[in-house]
Amino acid sequence: MKIRRFVSLWWVVAVAAACTGADRPPGADERRPASPTEMVQERPRSAAVRVINEGLGRSGRRVATAVRDLKQVSLWGPLTRDLFSLQLQTDPGPDGVPEDGHLADAMIGAVVENGGSGTHCSVRFYPTAIKQELTTLEEGYRAGLLGPPPTERRLWAGVLAHELAHCRNWDGGEPYAEQWERRALAAVSRAGLE
């Protein structure tokens, strides 16, 4: 596999979303530096985001399907329109599950390379955590505590939309990302994507 070299500028300001639902510390907005999209020249509107799928095995195929599904239900464009590049990774196995059990992380920064520069979003999925989440939702449904769970395919699309929403509007936090996740789950369901 040929490795692309990127000169990346990452902000030390913990521009990573753990998707734990934790609020930002009081006064964080007062110290907030400019976001990466404010600091880096945006790519032309006509240019498509460069997608680098580094997912491994079956989870890499799940990532590719989630991308196609979001495109099919017309959510991909709004979620990626301000991105220059998008790196999608998976961290398989039980050792790859974060302690709090969240399903994915997003990180934003900037990338500068020969072909231009712009906002870079990196999303890391935790396939074991996603599978555990599906099991929990199915058990809740069987116990009559929850509605029908999404299929695995739909959940991957929802998780991808959630993380892309963090990269789209960092300051929106979990409520903003959850809106996009619900929107994606509903859209792929309406489209009959199993």
Q: Between 53 and 10, whose confidence is greater?
A: 53
pLDDT of residue 137 exceeding 60: yes
Q: Is 12 helix (H, G, I), strand (E, B) or coil?
A: coil
Q: Which of 163, 161, 170, 162 has its CA nearest to residue 35?
A: 170
Q: What's phi and psi for 115, nearest 5 deg?
A: -85, 0
pLDDT in tens, 148-182: 999 999 999 999 999 999 999 989 999 999 999 99
AA identity, residue 192: G
Residue 162 token pair: 């959630």
How is the chain split into domains, by residue range?
A: 36-190
What is residue 7's predicted lDDT score, i.e. its pLDDT?
Answer: 33
Report the length, in residues, of the chain.
194
Rounded-to-integer distance, Cα 101 and Cα 132, Å: 9
Name the class of domain 36-190: alpha beta
pTM reported for the whole predicted model: 0.79
Lowest-confidence pick of 32-36, 60-64, 74-78: 32-36
Q: Which of 129, 109, 1, 6 has its CA nearest to residue 62?
A: 129
Q: Is 132 helix (H, G, I), strand (E, B) or coil?
A: helix
What is residue 19's predicted lDDT score, i.e. its pLDDT?
Answer: 57
pLDDT in tens, 1-49: 322 333 333 322 223 444 543 433 334 343 344 444 444 444 454 478 9
Residue whose structure tokens are 């505590």: 145
> In which element (H, E) is residue 16 found?
strand 16-17
